[in-house]
């Protein structure tokens, strides 16, 4: 019997970045049937992988890495021997690990997680595109939630929230866009609308819900985990949202995803032919001229018009 090949994946980073490992995990399991994969990540990122049966061991670290509990866990990992260690943090922690082969993401490389990993493994990035695993139970629960509404038919998804006002497209514009796309003569007539967002974005979600015909709106947010939203997105036909985690989840779900960009770099958007970044007339450099540190509490998305966003979506869907 062939012995196990131990693989350590270090993703001590934000969830949108950790998500990039999901496709690699599937590829490693397919190429190395006796691989035993350990994923060490943050608590926030671990929720995305809680249903993943391709991961043999999931270790989640909460808070600062130098807390006693975290140090104990990392120390335990450093005492093992690994066939492969991949660190996408990147952190100095990977240097502690005893690994036959080691790959650490280069933070100074303009290429993203997928591109760098693919180059190292001599693969096409499209071969390791993110795709989360969802349990049959969660899939069924999510479908039940979606089908519990009074309306039936295909579904589009919008994520109007953002962690910073600067990159949040005005909620009222999402409402007008939804109405335009879903009206009787619109590109998505008779479709339902699913609104997704975090607990912290509840006011924004409620504002969009109140501004859109209620019977066509369902919310996934608050106590509903990101993985539930991902499961719901896989049943949708379109996503529109700001440059946030939800855009990356939609891309991983494989649906046409339109990300709205302003004071962030569209070069860091998810890759794939089904993902398109939309921005107004100003580049990121233009915005940085008036807000060099990108910290001002002002909206930098006001020059991105509803007409422009709608036109891009309608053109791409028609084409």
**% of the chain at pLDDT higher than 90:** 68
Buried b (16+ CB within 10 A) or exposed e, 216-233: bbbbbbeebebbbbbbbb
pLDDT at 63 (0 to 100):
63
Q: Say yes or no to pLDDT of 1 above 80.
A: no
Where does the pLDDT of residue 170 fall: very low under 50, low under 70, confident under 90, or very high at 90 and above?
A: very high
Q: Which residue has the higher pLDDT, 144 or 298?
A: 298
Q: What is the C-alpha separation between 105 and 113, in angstroms, rounded?
A: 7
List the single range of 45-54, 60-69, 88-97, 290-299 with lowest mean pLDDT: 60-69
Q: Say yes or no to pLDDT of 198 above 60.
A: yes
State phi, psi for 294 to the nearest 5 degrees.
Answer: 50, 55
List the single range of 52-61, 111-120, 233-242 with lowest mean pLDDT: 111-120
Angle at the Cα of 238 (from 237 to 242), degrees rounded to 5?
Answer: 155
Q: Which residue has the higher pLDDT, 1 or 279?
A: 279
Q: Say yes or no to pLDDT of 28 above 70.
A: yes
How large is the average pLDDT for residues 183-194? 90
How far is Cα of residue 226 from the mean position of the Cα atoms in its chain?
9
Domains of the chain from N-terminus onward: 5-128 (3.40.50.2000), 136-318 (3.40.50.2000)
pLDDT at 64 (0 to 100):
59
Where does the pLDDT of residue 216 fall: very low under 50, low under 70, confident under 90, or very high at 90 and above?
A: low
Q: What is the pLDDT of residues 257-294, one digit of tens each?
A: 999 999 999 988 999 899 999 999 999 999 999 999 99
Q: What is the pLDDT of residues 293-304, one digit of tens each?
A: 999 999 999 999
pLDDT at 70 (0 to 100):
67
Count CA atoms closer than 13 A to 43's CA, side-chain side. 6
Radius of gyration from C-alpha coordinates of the chain: 21
Q: What is the C-alpha separation between 184 and 176, in angstroms, rounded?
A: 14
pLDDT at 33 (0 to 100):
87
Q: What is the pLDDT of residues 101-116, one digit of tens each?
A: 999 998 888 888 899 9
pLDDT at 238 (0 to 100):
97
């Amino acid at each position: 019997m062939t012995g196990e090949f131990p693989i350590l994946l270090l993703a001590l980073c934000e969830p949108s970045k950790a998500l990039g490992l999901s496709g690699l995990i599937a590829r490693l399991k397919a190429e190395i049937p006796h691989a035993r994969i350990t994923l060490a990540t943050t608590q926030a990122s671990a929720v995305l992988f809680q249903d993943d049966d391709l991961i043999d061991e999931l270790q989640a670290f909460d808070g600062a890495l130098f807390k006693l509990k975290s140090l104990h866990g990392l120390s335990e990992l450093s005492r093992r021997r690994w066939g492969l260690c991949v660190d996408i943090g990147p952190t100095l922690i990977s240097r502690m690990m005893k690994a036959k082969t080691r790959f650490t993401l280069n933070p100074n490389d303009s290429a993203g997680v997928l591109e760098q990993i693919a180059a190292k493994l001599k693969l096409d990035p499209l071969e390791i595109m993110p795709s989360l695993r969802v349990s049959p139970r969660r899939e069924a629960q999510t479908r039940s939630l979606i089908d519990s509404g009074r309306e039936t038919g295909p579904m589009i998804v919008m994520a109007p929230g953002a962690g910073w006002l600067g990159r949040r497209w005005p909620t009222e514009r999402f409402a007008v866009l939804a109405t335009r796309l879903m009206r009787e003569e619109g590109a998505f007539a008779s479709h339902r609308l699913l609104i997704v967002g975090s607990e912290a974005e509840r006011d924004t979600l409620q504002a969009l819900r109140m501004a859109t015909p209620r019977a066509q709106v369902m919310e996934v947010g608050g106590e509903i985990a990101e993985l539930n939203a991902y499961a719901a997105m896989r049943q949708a036909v379109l996503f529109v949202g700001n440059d946030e985690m939800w855009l990356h989840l939609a891309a991983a779900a494989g649906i046409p995803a339109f990300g709205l960009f302003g004071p962030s770099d569209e070069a860091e958007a998810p890759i794939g032919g089904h993902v398109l970044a939309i921005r107004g007339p100003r580049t990121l450099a233009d915005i940085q001229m008036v807000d060099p540190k990108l910290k001002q509490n002002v909206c930098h998305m006001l020059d991105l018009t509803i007409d422009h966003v709608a036109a891009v979506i309608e053109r791409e869907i028609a084409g």
